[in-house]
C-alpha cells in the first residue's frame, strides 16, 4: 500500500516533470544519448538487422573513451544497426555527431555487392511517399516491409567513413537504391582520433534523391551501424554526441 505522503510526493514529481517538458524549447538541440557506460544502449535505441537474419549481429555497447560516453561498434563477419525512431514536426536543420575508427575494412568497396561493408555509418531515415519510389523498387519495398515488424524506410541517407573512396563521393547501396551513401571521411589518416561532423540532412537528401523528389520528407529515425558480413572481416569504431538540431 502507498501511503498519502508517498502519493503526494509522486503527484508532485509528476507535475514537476510536466512543467519541465512544457518549458522545453521546441527549437532546442535534441541529444540522442546512448545510455550508461557498461551497458547496452538504452531504449528507444534498439538493434535491428536484415529480415530473417541468421548471420551474427554487429556488437554495440556503451563505453567511456577519451572523455566521451560513446557507442562501441564492432563487426565480426556480422551485420547490424542501432536505430533511434523519431517523430519530428519538421525536418531537422542538422544532425551532428563525433566518430572515430580504430580498424577499417581494407577489402570494402561500397560499389560492389560482394564487398558492400563499412566500419561505421550514421544514417537518417526518411518517410518518402511510396508513390515517389520507382515502380519496381516500390514492389521490393513492400515485400521487405512484409517480412519484418520493424519499419523499413523508403529512403535513407547514410554518412560513412570509407577505407578508400574519396571524401565527397556519393554512391547508391549495391543492393537497394533506397539507401544512398555519402563519404565524409576516407582512409586511415585520422584513425584513433575523434572527428566532429555536422550535416544539413535536408540538403543532403535533396542532393542524393534528386532523381525522385524535390521535397524533403519527414525524418523518422537515426541509426548507426557497421557490417563486415560480405568481406568476412573485422572492424571497430565509436560514435558519440549524436544531436538533432531543429
How many domains are there within the chain?
Answer: 1
CA gap 181, 156 in Å, rounded: 9
Residue 10 has what pLDDT?
35
Residue 220, domain member (yes or no): yes
Residue 150 has what pLDDT?
83
10 Å Cβ neighbour count for 148? 14
Query: Is the separation of the CB atoms in 73 and 242 below 8 Å?
Result: no
For each of the chain's 246 residues, which pLDDT tens digit applies?
444 434 343 333 333 333 333 333 557 899 999 999 999 999 999 999 998 899 999 999 999 999 999 999 999 999 999 999 998 888 889 999 999 999 999 999 999 999 999 999 999 999 999 999 999 898 988 888 888 878 889 999 999 999 999 999 999 999 999 999 999 999 999 999 999 999 999 999 999 999 999 999 999 999 999 999 999 999 999 999 999 998
CATH number at residue 83: 2.60.120.430
Residue 22 has what pLDDT?
36
Nearest to 239 by CA among 60, 52, 77: 60
Contact residues for 189 (Cβ-Cβ < 8 A; gap 6+): none
Written as nine digits, the cell of 131 is: 508513390
Domain that holds residue 167: 29-245
Residue 104, domain member (yes or no): yes
Residue 14, domain member (yes or no): no
Tell me if residue 55 falls in helix, strand or coil. coil
**Burial track 4-25 (b if 16+ CB lie within 10 A, e otherwise):** eeeeeeeeeeeeeeeeeeeeee
Residue 182, domain member (yes or no): yes
Residue 149, domain member (yes or no): yes
Contact residues for 113 (Cβ-Cβ < 8 A; gap 6+): 174, 175, 230
Residue 12, domain member (yes or no): no
Residue 13, domain member (yes or no): no
Please give the model's pTM, rounded to 2 decimal places.
0.87
The residue to which cell 519484418 is assigned = 148
Residue 186, domain member (yes or no): yes
Contact residues for 233 (Cβ-Cβ < 8 A; gap 6+): 75, 77, 105, 106, 107, 117
CA gap 77, 75 in Å, rounded: 6
Amino acid at each position: 500500500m502507498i501511503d498519502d505522503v508517498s502519493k503526494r510526493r509522486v503527484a508532485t514529481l509528476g507535475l514537476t516533470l510536466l512543467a519541465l517538458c512544457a518549458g522545453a524549447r521546441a527549437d532546442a538541440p535534441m541529444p540522442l544519448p546512448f545510455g550508461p557506460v557498461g551497458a547496452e544502449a538504452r531504449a528507444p535505441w534498439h538493434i535491428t538487422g536484415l529480415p530473417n537474419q541468421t548471420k551474427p549481429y554487429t556488437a554495440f555497447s556503451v563505453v567511456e573513451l577519451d572523455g566521451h560516453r560513446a557507442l562501441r561498434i564492432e563487426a565480426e563477419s556480422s551485420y547490424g544497426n542501432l536505430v533511434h525512431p523519431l517523430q519530428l514536426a519538421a525536418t531537422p536543420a542538422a544532425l551532428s555527431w563525433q566518430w572515430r575508427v580504430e580498424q577499417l575494412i581494407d577489402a570494402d568497396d561500397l560499389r560492389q555487392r560482394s564487398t558492400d561493408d563499412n566500419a561505421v555509418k550514421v544514417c537518417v531515415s526518411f518517410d518518402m511517399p511510396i508513390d515517389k519510389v520507382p515502380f519496381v523498387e516500390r514492389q521490393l519495398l513492400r515485400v521487405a516491409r512484409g517480412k519484418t515488424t520493424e519499419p523499413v524506410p523508403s529512403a535513407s541517407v547514410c554518412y560513412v567513413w570509407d577505407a578508400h573512396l574519396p571524401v565527397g563521393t556519393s554512391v547508391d547501396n549495391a543492393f537497394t537504391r533506397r539507401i544512398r551513401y555519402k563519404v565524409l571521411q576516407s582512409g586511415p589518416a585520422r584513425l584513433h582520433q575523434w572527428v566532429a561532423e555536422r550535416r544539413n540532412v535536408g540538403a543532403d537528401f535533396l542532393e542524393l534523391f534528386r532523381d525522385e523528389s524535390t521535397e524533403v520528407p519527414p525524418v523518422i529515425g537515426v541509426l548507426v551501424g557497421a557490417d563486415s558480413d560480405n568481406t568476412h572481416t573485422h572492424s571497430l569504431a565509436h560514435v558519440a554526441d549524436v544531436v538533432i538540431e531543429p
